[in-house]
Amino acid sequence: MELRARVTQAIKEAMKAKEADKLSTLRLINAAIKDRDIEARAEGREDGVGNDAVLGILGKMVKQRQESAKVYEEGGRLELAEKELDEIKVIEDFLPRQLSDAEVDSAVEAAIAEVGADSIRDMGKVMGVLKGKYTGQMDFGKVGPMVKSKLG
């Protein structure tokens, strides 16, 4: 099932079950997707954004909430940090399983071999292959330095 349809279905289920916190998070997801759809239509893509873009949106939302939770914890606002962590759990229900460190390492090695990368100048090609195959399954902020160290 397409991610957009899964979100819509989850909204309906949360409404029926009267799960206010979950519903709030699902509506935020839906709003973020609709915002990107509007941007896409402005660029001439009438069908909006696809599943890959939705995965990117969800990944970004998780990262934002992780950063917020960290700031709240450092500031002693544990109830706000807990709310952010609860939202992360709801968002992650729509993301594919995250790859383990070993799986990420082998994916990086495979991508380097696939593009024939042999220097740091090929990093963009390697990252392009990884983003094409593993969007939503790995943290590219952590993968970038790993690729750089293997090529450097």
110-137 per-position pLDDT tens digit = 999 998 888 889 899 999 999 888 877 8
In the DSSP assignment, the letter for residue 122 is G
pLDDT band at 97 (very low <50, low <70, confident <90, very high): confident
Same domain, 68 and 117: no
Spatial separation of the C-alpha atoms in residues 92 and 61, rounded to whole Å? 10
Closest CA to 62 of 94, 88, 38: 88
Same domain, 42 and 113: no
Number of domains in the chain: 2
Rg (CA), the chain: 18
Domain of 39, CATH number, reads 1.10.1510.10
The tokens for 24 are 């709030």
22-48 per-position pLDDT tens digit = 999 999 999 999 999 999 888 888 888
Same domain, 18 and 86: yes
pLDDT band at 20 (very low <50, low <70, confident <90, very high): very high
Residue 86: is it exposed, middle or buried by C-beta count within 10 angstroms (0-12/13-18/19+)?
middle
